[in-house]
Amino acid sequence: MTYHEPIKGAGAERRDELGNFNKAYRTKPHRGSDWGFKTGSEGKPVYAVADGLVAKVLWSDVLGHCIITKNSHDKVYTIFAHLKEAPTLARMDRVIGGETVVGLIGNTGSASAGAHLHAAASTEQLPHLAAVDKLLDLFKLIDASKPKTAPVAKTPTTKPATKKAPAKKA
Ligand SMILES: [Zn+2]
C-alpha cells in the first residue's frame, strides 16, 4: 500500500475526477481530483495520501489555503487545496504518513463553490502550476494501491521437495 484516500469515514466520497470538463460549471478540464462528505465536508480532516514530507504551505487567491506534500516512495508532490485554515504542519520537511492530518476541508479560494477537498499530484514541485499533462490521477494511484480482492482459496500446490545440490567436497 502506497497511496491512501485523503478523507475517511462515513459519507466520504469521490466527487470529480482529473480532466473532467463535461460539467456545466466547468470551462477547462479539471486540474485535480475532488472529494467530499455527504454529511457536510467543512472542517473534516484531510490525511496525507502517502508517507513523505511537508514540502510547502501556501495561500493562493484561487485555491485558498494549501499544503504540498512530497511522497518518499515516488517523489510525487500533492497539493491539497481550499483548506479551512492555514495548515499547522508549517514546518518544512516534517515527516508525515497516511495517518497524518495535513489540514481540514474548507471553502477558501475563488475556485471553490462549497466546502470540498481538491487535490492534484505531479512530479513537479508545484502541482497546481504544472501543465495538465503533467498531472497524475490520484483516484487511479489510490486504486492501484488497494489490496486486490482475495483470490478464491486454492488447494495448496504440493511443491516437489527441492533437492539440494550435494555439498561440494573441498
Ligand atoms: Zn477540484
In a domain, 27, yes or no: yes
- What local confidence, expressed as pLDDT, does residue 28 receive? 84
CA of 125 to the centre of ligand 1 (A): 18
Instruction: Say if residue 46's pLDDT is above 80.
Output: yes
Domain count, the chain: 1
Residue 156: pLDDT band (50, 70, 90) is: low
Share of the chain above pLDDT 90, in %: 67
In a domain, 151, yes or no: no
Residue 35: pLDDT band (50, 70, 90) is: very high
CA of 69 to the centre of ligand 1 (A): 17
Instruction: Say if residue 155's pLDDT is above 80.
Output: no
In a domain, 7, yes or no: no
3-41: burial string, b at 16+ Cβ within 10 Å, e else? bbbbbeeeebeeebebeeeeeeeeeeebbbbbbbbeeeb
- Establish how many alpha carbons lie within 13 A of residue 32's alpha carbon, considering only the half-sphere containing its beta carbon: 23
**φ, ψ (nearest 5 deg) of residue 147:** -60, 140
CA of 26 to the centre of ligand 1 (A): 10
In a domain, 54, yes or no: yes
CA of 89 to the centre of ligand 1 (A): 22
Pull the grid cell for residue 169. 567436497
In a domain, 139, yes or no: yes
Min mean pLDDT across 39-53, 102-116, 139-153 is at: 139-153
CA of 156 to the centre of ligand 1 (A): 47
pTM: 0.83
- What is the number of other CB atoms lying within 10 angstroms of the CB of residue 132? 13
As a whole number, mean pLDDT of residues 139-146 equals: 94
In a domain, 159, yes or no: no
CA of 87 to the centre of ligand 1 (A): 19
In a domain, 72, yes or no: yes
Which CATH number does the domain housing residue 71 bear?
Answer: 2.70.70.10
Residue 97: pLDDT band (50, 70, 90) is: confident
- What local confidence, expressed as pLDDT, does residue 158 receive? 59
CA of 121 to the centre of ligand 1 (A): 12
In a domain, 59, yes or no: yes
Domain around 94: 12-143
Residue 96: pLDDT band (50, 70, 90) is: confident
CA of 119 to the centre of ligand 1 (A): 7
Question: Which residue blocks in 54-148 are alpha helix, DSSP H?
Answer: 138-145
- Establish how many alpha carbons lie within 13 A of residue 147's alpha carbon, considering only the half-sphere containing its beta carbon: 3
